[in-house]
Structure 1
Amino acid sequence: MESLTAREKFLLVQEGFRENALKIITQMLAWSNTTPGSKHLVDEILHSIFFLGGINKPKYEPKDIVTDDNMMNMLKGQYPRPLQYYVSQLPKRSPFSCVLDMIVLQEGKSQIDKIKERVHEFADRLKPGFLVSTTMCVTTCKTSNSNYYGVSMSTTGPNAGKIVIAASSLSTWEEYVAGAVMTYYPEKASEKYKKKEYFDGTIKLPLDKVTCQASNIKNQTNMEPCRSCGNLFGLPTKDTKEWPYGHCAEVGSVSNLLKAEKAVKEAAAPTSPTYTAENREKAEASVRMVLKQVLKMVDFKWVGDVFYEPQN
């Protein structure tokens, strides 16, 4: 009987995925109704959540998450593509990035405290560990005085994390940030994150031009960068903890900054002699190969190597 109760306990805990998924979808739909130009964020988050539900143990199909027939019919009418492609295309980002983008869109990029407070309030309504980020980062360009935001990966378990980190590297993160993350991405599905010998895309952010501050979403205290972010971006830190490279909030935040601030990007360019077009291509091919190994492990058939393109 013991194994049965352990299984029951596991399934009970996993219910948090379904509960959080429905709360997030319901809130994003409500916000979208009063936020012009935000439909693509709902489209993206639906696909990302349905994808993660599909590879979860136990598996959650869209109908397991959205049990109300009226709501499901509305989604089929207004957002048909996520329901069509969650079984064949990969998300470019994890779901909570879309929540953050929605709040930034509503408040405006300058409102750091308001944005942090609202992210905290929303995360507080969710069960920890499922589809919700634990850290948030604000990277500020001193010359333009613009703020760029990011949240940590809102995936559960090593496989989902590896999949979305690879997908973000190959499809959406700014090229230098993606290169830095790919430098440490495992060479085999079974391996841990470690630095490649043939490719070093790590960068050093010019700290005279930018500030980069992460904080804990739950208790809103500032956090110093982990060792991984120190290695990726040259951020000074005494922390020795290495999170999976690409997991942290700094990654999305720095990516958004480098996409917009050309002078900072030039100053941060990788300097290693191994950072060549040929070696980068090799690193990308390696990441793609390992991604496919992990997808096989979770029984996902990736059709045509396509990443999901959200629609407005």
Structure 2
Amino acid sequence: MAADRKKRQMPLGLLKIREFNKENLKTCGLHLIGHVMEEFKKEQNKLKTYVNEILHSIFFFGVIHKDCLTPVDFLNEQTEIVQQAFPEPFDKYRSHLPKRTPFSILLDIMQLTFGTKENIMRELCSLMEKLKFPYPLDRPANKNQRYYTLESTVICVCSNSQCTSQEYFGASLGCRTENAKSIMIYSSCLNTWHEYVSYAVMSFQHQTEGESLQFHKSMQCQAYIRDWNDNVYKERQPCMNCTRLFSLPEGTEQEHYPYGNCAETECLSKLLLKDQFMQENTEIRNYTTDKMNMFKDRTKKLLQGKLASIPSLSNRNNNDLLWFNP
């Protein structure tokens, strides 16, 4: 009898966790939107594109959440005001894929506002404390605690030491559900990251032995994780996946993350996209156009399969993938 009672109590407990996680995401989304809207009032010309993009990204992750959150769930009585100012994210969050996560877009805003790595990390810690985002749980074994806080656990900064003035920032995906994480990795491989980074990530996904990138020796790359006790970013070694992907110094374990999840992926992609010298002096094993097309075809099919499994999306049975370009 006791065992039967315990079984009957489990659904209620899971329901409470699910409701808690849903409210968590709604609160984080509202607070982040509130922050970028305040920043937009100060720098309208500079930030309009970023605000459009971050709204769409938040709405997209809301609608693919198992509770299918809508913009109204995030904004409540502010919905009409925000929609009048930024109609495009409201029109396209069910049909178009985001190119980046909300935190990745926030990093760009922080860089535009504060400039240097030291200033960005200091102000980012201050902002996270102000927004009161909950601890971004990082326990893969506990499926009940996989949820979005919209904060990426790790950020990464890279540069070309021959051109030390330019730094490139990236964020880990910050997704707490396998569906969302896979969608963002597949989507980024097809439409966001530099082709070398996409090729490397896809090669490790689709074949036994992946094709690593070998950057020029002038490439510098350092990841940071926010220490919640001290509220500061501290250096973090790359994981083994990034060590294999990008020929980085010896990394730590943490192989439960898929290839492409880490912050190194985004910042190194930006470096290749923006730095001509690094493009011309980065090597990738066995790269061919035919293999690239094969990887893309396989990745597109995987992405379409993930989208087709989400009833709330309006383009889930569409062979033509659409991306949001604010």
Common fold: TM-score over 0.5: yes
Could you state the TM-score of these two structures normalised by the residue count of structure 1? 0.89
Distance 1:38 1:140 in 2: 24
Matches within 5 A, 1:27-46: 27-35=35-43, 36-46=45-55
Please, which of 270, 280, 284 is the counterpart of residue 292 of structure 2? 280
Please, which of 116, 119, 125 is the counterpart of residue 120 of structure 1? 125
Judge conservation of contact 1:131–1:156 (CA < 8 Å) in 2: no
- The secondary structure found in structure 2 opposite 1:291 is helix
Is residue 309 of structure 1 aligned with residue 318 of structure 2? no
Judge conservation of contact 1:92–1:171 (CA < 8 Å) in 2: yes
Segments ≥4 residues shifted beyond 6 Å: none
Judge conservation of contact 2:204–2:211 (CA < 8 Å) in 1: no
Judge conservation of contact 1:141–1:210 (CA < 8 Å) in 2: yes
Q: Deviations over 1:165-184 (max 9, x none)?
A: 11111111111111111112
Deviation for aligned residue 1:162:
0.4
Counterpart AA for 1:13: N
What does residue 86 of structure 2 align with? 79
Give me the identity figure in percent.
Answer: 28
Please, which of 195, 199, 212 is the counterpart of residue 202 of structure 1? 212
Cα distance change of structure 1 residues 256 and 60 upon mapping to structure 2, 3 Å threshold:
same
Root-mean-square deviation over aligned CA pairs: 1.6
Deviation for aligned residue 1:37:
1.5
Distance 1:246 1:122 in 2: 26
What does residue 150 of structure 2 align with? 131
Matches within 5 A, 1:1-312: 1-2=8-9, 3-35=11-43, 36-68=45-77, 71-108=78-115, 111-124=116-129, 125-129=132-136, 130-145=149-164, 146-185=166-205, 196-197=207-208, 200-206=210-216, 208-218=217-227, 219-242=232-255, 243-272=257-286, 275-299=287-311, 300-302=313-315, 303=318, 304-310=320-326
* Count of aligned pairs between the two proteins: 293
Judge conservation of contact 1:11–1:58 (CA < 8 Å) in 2: no
- The secondary structure found in structure 1 opposite 2:222 is strand
Deviation for aligned residue 1:32:
1.7
Structure 1, unpaired ranges of 5+: 186-194
Could you state the TM-score of these two structures normalised by the residue count of structure 2? 0.86
Q: Deviations over 1:7-55 (max 9, x none)?
A: 1232123211000000011101111222241111110111111011001
For the pair shown, the structure with the greater C-alpha radius of gyration is 2
Deviation for aligned residue 1:241:
2.2
Distance 1:238 1:174 in 2: 23
